[in-house]
């Protein structure tokens, strides 16, 4: 029972914006507006700040990037970032830097205010100096961390695991656990495959392939897996 605001937020997420989805209900969604409320606008900006800071922290911990490399960016032009970066590459320095990045960007965002445009949409932005620093931070994170060799390999493996799991469950629903098959039966108004034999089982499995609710149940099941559980299931169906 997702609210319209939550569904709208999912559709407007950075990685999914602009794609077409086969939704049963678009009523109540303002899909064309960047942000339908000022709260949504500020959440979008703060989420972006948090994401860049966390990705930078992960990259430094994994030694995909080093604090000293930020001297080559516009981040180094801003105090207190410069003073912290000059302290070296230690984990204590990293903690201070991440904390400082988050608070300085947030304070600037709040201090720079909100512009209410003529069409009553709301826009939050950084001051020019911090805008340059944040753009440089994003570029650094993507170039050094997100697009790195090791991350690209991990992403490739993850996509393959998810794709193969989905295809396996879609083409052979009997691979799904009993409780998931029960959900399929209830949501799709079809008999539970475990209770059928022979031709009836094959016929019902064929019907499920054209059922959106069946696909939704599979997606929900995979989406609820932890990384380790997904790999365990993957190895079971791909021994």
**pLDDT per position as a tens digit, 43-96:** 878 989 999 999 999 999 999 999 999 999 999 999 999 999 999 999 999 999
Mean pLDDT of 127-142: 96
Query: What mean pLDDT value characterizes the chain?
Result: 86
User: DSSP letter string over 67-124?
Assistant: GGGGGGSGGGGSTTHHHHHTT-S-HHHHHHHHHHHHHHHHHHHHHT-EEE-TTS-EEE
More confident residue, 20 or 208: 208
pLDDT of 90: 93
Dihedral pair phi/psi, residue 83, rounded to 5°: -65, -35
pLDDT per residue as tens digits for the range 147-188: 999 999 999 999 999 999 999 999 999 899 999 989 988 888
Which of 108-112, 168-172, 190-194 shows the lowest per-residue confidence on average (mean pLDDT)? Answer: 190-194
Comparing CA positions, the residue from 48, 45, 158 lying closest to residue 112 is: 45
Predicted TM-score (pTM) of this structure = 0.70
């Amino acid at each position: 029972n997702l609210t319209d605001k939550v569904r709208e937020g999912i559709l407007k997420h950075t990685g999914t914006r602009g794609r077409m989805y086969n939704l049963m209900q678009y009523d109540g969604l303002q899909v064309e507006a960047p942000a339908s409320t000022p709260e949504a606008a500020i959440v979008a900006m703060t989420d972006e700040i948090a994401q860049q800071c966390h990705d930078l922290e992960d990259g430094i911990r994994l030694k995909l990037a080093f604090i000293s490399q930020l001297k080559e960016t516009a981040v180094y032009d801003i105090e207190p970032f410069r003073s912290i970066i000059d302290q070296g590459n230690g984990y204590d320095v990293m903690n201070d830097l991440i904390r400082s990045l988050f608070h300085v960007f947030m304070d600037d965002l709040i201090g720079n205010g909100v512009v209410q445009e003529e069409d009553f949409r709301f826009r939050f932005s950084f001051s020019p100096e911090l805008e340059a620093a944040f753009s440089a931070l994003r570029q650094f994170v993507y170039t050094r961390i997100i697009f790195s060799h090791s991350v690209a390999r991990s992403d490739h493996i993850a996509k393959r695991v998810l794709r193969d799991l989905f295809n396996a469950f879609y083409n052979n629903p009997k691979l799904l656990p009993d409780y998931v098959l029960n959900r399929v039966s209830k949501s799709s108004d079809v008999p539970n495959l475990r209770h059928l034999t022979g031709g009836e089982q094959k016929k019902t499995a064929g019907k499920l392939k054209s059922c959106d609710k069946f696909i939704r149940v599979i997606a929900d099941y995979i989406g609820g897996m932890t990384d380790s559980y997904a790999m365990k299931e993957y190895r079971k169906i791909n021994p």
